[in-house]
Structure 1
């Protein structure tokens, strides 16, 4: 199938499919006219690539994980893919912890600002005190 059909069948843009190919995540064969042609297995491959991207993996990490799909019986490849995904999960956990810390710091600032705003709202201005 050509790139447009793969795009329609997967819901992934042709631009993204070309990117996947450039990153070594997806393969095609070229016609004499230079058009990309993909096998029917490309649909499943793109679906897996999307799942891996949705899981927060970069194209670099995905490239290290995909050999597990190509050689699922190779325990070394499977272990390597598992370790790569575990490292990424640990990285994501660290990012989450950092974001929670940032949110907590922002909450402190919002609380201080809320108290200040309340103090300002409670202050009597000269105009409301009946001053000319």
Structure 2
């Protein structure tokens, strides 16, 4: 299939599919005229890439897992699990940082409300 059909079957734009190739996430064969050609396995690969992106993974991190996706094996599964574990820890840390920032902002909002209440004599 050509890139347009892969785009239609996966719901992913042609531009994104070309970007996935540029990032090493997807490899197509080429016709003598340079047109990209894909098979049914590419549909599943694109869906997997989309799932990883939706889970907050970067394309460079996904690219590190491409060998695990290309030739599934126990060793590859362990490597993928290690990578996904690191990504989960990164996301958890980011969530903790955001929660701390929200708490700090909540405190500043409360201080501001108290100031307004004192300056106007109204309740916060």
Paired position in structure 2 for 1:67: 67
SS of the equivalent of 2:24 reads coil
* TM-score of the two chains, using structure 1 as the length reference: 0.85
Matches within 5 A, 1:15-94: 15-73=15-73, 75-94=74-93
**1 or 2, which has the higher helix percentage?**
2
Gaps of 5+ in 1: 124-132
Equivalent-residue separation in structure 2 for 1:59 and 1:46 (angstroms): 12
- In our comparison, the structure showing a higher alpha carbon Rg is 1
4+ residue stretches of structure 1 with deviation over 3 A? none
Unaligned runs of 5+ in 2: none
When the two chains are superposed, the root-mean-square deviation of aligned CA atoms in Å is 1.4
How many residues were matched structurally? 122
Partner deviation per Cα, 1:55-95 (whole Å, 9 max, x = no partner): 1111111112232222223x222211111110110011111
Match of 1:66, SS? helix
Aligned to 2:111: 112
Partner of residue 127, structure 1: none
